[in-house]
Amino acid sequence: MPSAISHQPSARRAIFLDRDGVINRMVYHPDFGLVDSPANPDEFILLPGVSLVVRAINEMGLLAIVISNQPGVAKGKFTEELLEAMTDKMHRELALGEARLDAVYYCLHHPEASIPKYKTHCDCRKPKPGLLLQAAREWEIDLRGSYFIGDGITDVLAGQAAGTRTILISSRKPYLYEALSEHKANPNHIVASLEEAITLIQEGMQ
């Protein structure tokens, strides 16, 4: 089980980013009537403005780290190799905008996985904070001085559990407040876009 991280003033700070819906577009599958994560590099498309936001994180001297559940591997929707190919495409396309992710952490598990080796109740699947704690150990990150930006309640809960500040991207406010209350999720900020989130952080650092 991931251990707690001591919060050192000299440690680095990071902006943790959820992936699907924050960095890249979700994919609509008309045959099933579902919106889901991309399952191959052709489906992986960066959202507008993401390169500018990640480059801004780089220029602020903060680490840019992706934290993402990817249960499609556990459910047999795509392979680890395809996930790696999507990650490579993400890095390449961000680099075209002179932007850089410092690290990417994925949870591949799911408690109802169709592939046995991924079927587990793990400590890394959000809303648990395992991946955040792992990143903090490996990069000597001050979690209390860091942010987690995501578009889901699980992102908020994972950030809360790890001790980061949290920013939720959402425009569904009437429904949202009820859901946040139900799950005891208390984001520090709710914004309408990733650009708004990074502007808020920039202003807070001035």
- What does the radius of gyration of the chain's CA atoms come to, in whole angstroms? 16
Q: What is the rounded (10 degree) CA torsion for 136, 139, 52, 85?
A: -90
Active site residue 18: yes
Give CA angle at 161 (121, 107), nearest 5°. 40
Active site residue 20: yes
CB atoms within 10 A of CB 139: 14
Check 20, 142, 151, 155 and give the catalytic one. 20
Check 18, 142, 151, 155 and give the catalytic one. 18
- Nearest Cα neighbor of 11 from 78, 85, 76, 63 is 63
Which residue in the block uniquely carries the two structure tokens 């792992």? 134
Sheet of 165-169: strand order equals 103-107, 63-69, 14-17, 147-150, 165-169, 189-191
Q: Kindly list the catalytic residues.
A: 18, 20
